[in-house]
Structures are given as C-alpha cells and as structure tokens.
Amino acid sequence: MPALEGTLSSVLAARYSTNAARVRELAAPLTNSQFWQQPYPYGNSFGHLVLHLTGNLNYYIGTLIANTGYIRDRPREFADPNPPSKEEALKLFDEAVAMVVQTIHAQSCEDWSKEYSAVGTSAPNRLAIALVCAAHMQHHIGQMIYLVYEWKRQ
C-alpha cells in the first residue's frame, strides 16, 4: 500500500494547493473594499468566504486531526465587524492550507481510516473529511468566481 498512500497524499495535497492558488488568483484584482463588500444584496463577501474557508480547514483538519488547538467561531467568519485586511485574511488562509497539506503528508494508510467525528459533518473517517473539505473549497470558489465577475461588471 505505500504506493497508494503516496499517491493519495500527493493528489489531495495538490488539490488543496491548486484550490488555494485559485482563491489567490481570484482575489488579486479586488481592492480591500471590494474584498469585504457584497456586490449583491444577498450572500457573502469574498473576504468572509476566505475567513469561512480558513475556519473550516483550521477546525475540521487542524483541530480534529493535526491537534492544533484551534477554536472555531463560525458565526464570526461571516459577520466579523472588524475583519483583517485583505492581505492578512489571505495570509491566514494560506497558513491554514499549508497546515492541511502538512497534515495530509503526515497520514499513514491506517490514519486515513481512523474514525472521525465532528459537529457539522457526517464524515466517518479522516479520508472522508479531507475530501469533504476539498469539495467545500471548490463550492466556495464557485461563489467567488461570481463575486469577481460582478465586481468587474460594475
């Protein structure tokens, strides 16, 4: 199984790195103001989605697999009255992704199968939550694409 273990880790780590690069690419043309404002009368700002993804990764992977001690404040991810700057938010996001990639590479075949339990997910093991979190990133990247499109249109 070492070949599968290495392939699995490489593929998952690459997906997270690719997703992070896409978030950075999409954020690049936005001003700090656009990053934190909603161009629509509904939904979330790009910046609050970044905070949300950061919290998601730090909790589901960091706290519960890497044992980082992170304590999540999910409501604040969407409504922080004093959010960090765009660059600081992206730096925190990059750090969360780096932690996830490091954690992925630290998993053995046996680790991937370890039982997993957390509030807000039914993922039964570590592999499942790693896949769920990657898919969750993709979902919000889709929203980010629409936000950037709207800012360019205005």
Q: What is the largest CA-CA distance in the chain?
A: 53
6 or 40, which is more confident: 40
pLDDT of residue 4: 75
Residue with token string 């970044």: 50
Question: With 90 as the cut, is the pLDDT of residue 6 above it?
Answer: no
At residue 2 the predicted structure's pLDDT band, cuts being 50, 70 and 90, is: low
What are the φ/ψ torsions at residue 57 (nearest 5 degrees)?
-70, -45
What is the residue extent of each domain of the chain? 2-153
For the residues of 3-42, what is the DSSP string, one character each? Answer: HHHHHHHHHHHHHHHHHHHHHHHHHTT--HHHHHS-SSSS
Please determine, looking at this structure, whether the domain spanning 2-153 carries the CATH number 1.20.120.450.
Answer: yes
Are residues 19 and 141 in contact, defined by beta-carbon separation less than 8 angstroms? yes
pLDDT tens readout for residues 18-66 = 999 999 999 999 999 999 999 999 999 999 999 999 999 999 999 999 9
Task: Report the chain's terminal Cα–Cα distance, integer Å.
Answer: 53
